[in-house]
Amino acid sequence: MRTRGLSRGQLLAGAAAVFYALQNLSMRVAAPAVDPLVVTLFAGFPTLITALAVTLASPSRRARLARLGGEARGRWLMAGLAAAGVVMYLVGNPLFVRALALGGAVVATPTGSTVVIWSALLAAVLLRERMNRLATAGIAVFVAGVLLLSLGQASEVPAGPGWYWAIPLGTAAGLCWSTGGLGTRLAHSRGVDTFAILALYGVAGLGAVGLVSSVTGGLGGFFAWLGGRPDAGGTLAALVLAGLFNLGAEVTLTVALLLETVARTAVISSSSVTIVALLAWAFLGDALNLTMLAGVLAVFAGAALVQSQTVRAGAPGALPGPTVASGGPAASAGPSSGA
């Protein structure tokens, strides 16, 4: 049911956009000096610890998770969420961190925001979420704004000699992140607790990242670098902030996905691309020309169009309502970094 003004889900998705923007700026500071897998570990660790602590501290959450594991369909769902966590953390996040290092936040963030396209298309095909013509037009306007931002950045001094590689890397990251939106929406319909799903994503995804980073020497190399550089404190602080901002983003986004469709939530939360551009211009001295400003306005306009779509309960494309038991809302989890 629609109400006047912004809904709770839309406000939460907007809050996630702000958190993701702040996280991207923090990660940008650390990206050139730190291995992408290590950045991913720092970015996701606070969310994992919080999700595990909340889940283990609540008997009702533990009981619901045990019931889920006792059913064949529940085990398949848990396995799918774990697989999505590996895709997001082990593949998507390192790709995006590399894109940040090559192209900076203003180039990498718009390409990562293609998660909007992937999420909407996959949700329409796999979850049968219906989008009306206004929502489709909104996605087109959003994409146009992202392209304008990228073109505007290209007309300035490039962020680095290989800045253009940030475009395919960020786009691939967006595709990886879209698996989290789909898994989250499906988990909502099964009534799984939010923090339990975040824990499943984190245990599987960060576990895989930690294993690969340990085998490849990235984690050991980081601590050696940290101990040998007197100026490494700023980088470490940026990594810690990235993790805290990611915690705020994932919690607000997961609850937003309980209340809104994948397409609408993805577009609103991915409006972080505009916030990144404005903050990078205001505090880090990044360029913001007229072309980029037009892109910022187009992104916001596209988000407004998509959030105006209506999916009625019981209509084709609407998922069944989640079961909310004592101990917290139904579960979800979004991308662990980026748009």
Residue 3 within any structural domain of the chain:
no
179 pLDDT exceeds 80?
Answer: yes
Q: What is the mean pLDDT of the chain?
A: 78
Cβ–Cβ under 8 Å, residues 88 and 336: yes
Cα–Cα nearest to 276, from 66, 112, 93, 132: 112
What would you report as the CA-atom Rg of the chain, rounded to the nearest whole angstrom? Answer: 19
Name the percent of the chain lying above pLDDT 90.
Answer: 22
270-329 tens-digit pLDDT: 777 778 777 877 877 767 788 878 887 887 777 667 666 544 333 333 222 222 222 222
Higher pLDDT, 54 or 111: 54
- Return the top range by mean pLDDT from 7-21, 82-96, 259-273: 82-96
- Structure confidence at residue 325 (pLDDT): 25
Q: How many domains does the chain have?
A: 1
- Structure confidence at residue 307 (pLDDT): 61
Q: How far apart are CA 176 and CA 285, in angstroms?
A: 30
The residue length of the chain stands at 339
Residue 255 within any structural domain of the chain:
yes
Cβ–Cβ under 8 Å, residues 305 and 158: no
Residue 239 within any structural domain of the chain:
yes
105 pLDDT exceeds 80?
Answer: no
Count of CB atoms situated within 10 Å of the CB of 35: 20
The 8-class DSSP code of residue 65 comes to H
Domain extent for 89:
32-306
- Structure confidence at residue 159 (pLDDT): 56
Chain centroid to CA 159: 23
Residue 213 within any structural domain of the chain:
yes
Q: First vs last Cα of the chain: how many Å apart?
A: 27
Q: How far apart are CA 236 and CA 34, in angstroms?
A: 10
- The sign of the dihedral angle between the CA atoms of 179, 185, 190, 195 is positive
Residue 12 within any structural domain of the chain:
no
Confidence band for 161, pLDDT divided at 50, 70 and 90:
low
Residue 63 within any structural domain of the chain:
yes
Q: Which pTM does this prediction carry?
A: 0.74
Residue 207 within any structural domain of the chain:
yes
- State mean pLDDT over 46-67: 89
Confidence band for 158, pLDDT divided at 50, 70 and 90:
low
77 pLDDT exceeds 50?
Answer: yes
Q: Report the amino acid identity of residue 8.
A: R
- Structure confidence at residue 323 (pLDDT): 24
Q: How far apart are CA 70 and CA 91, in angstroms?
A: 30
Higher pLDDT, 27 or 163: 27
Of the candidate ranges 30-39, 65-74, 159-168, the one whose mean pLDDT is the lowest:
159-168
- State mean pLDDT over 109-134: 76
Residue 24 within any structural domain of the chain:
no
Query: 3-class secondary structure for 255-275?
Result: HHHHHCCHHHHHHHHCCHHHH
- Structure confidence at residue 274 (pLDDT): 76
- The sign of the dihedral angle between the CA atoms of 16, 209, 62, 240 is negative
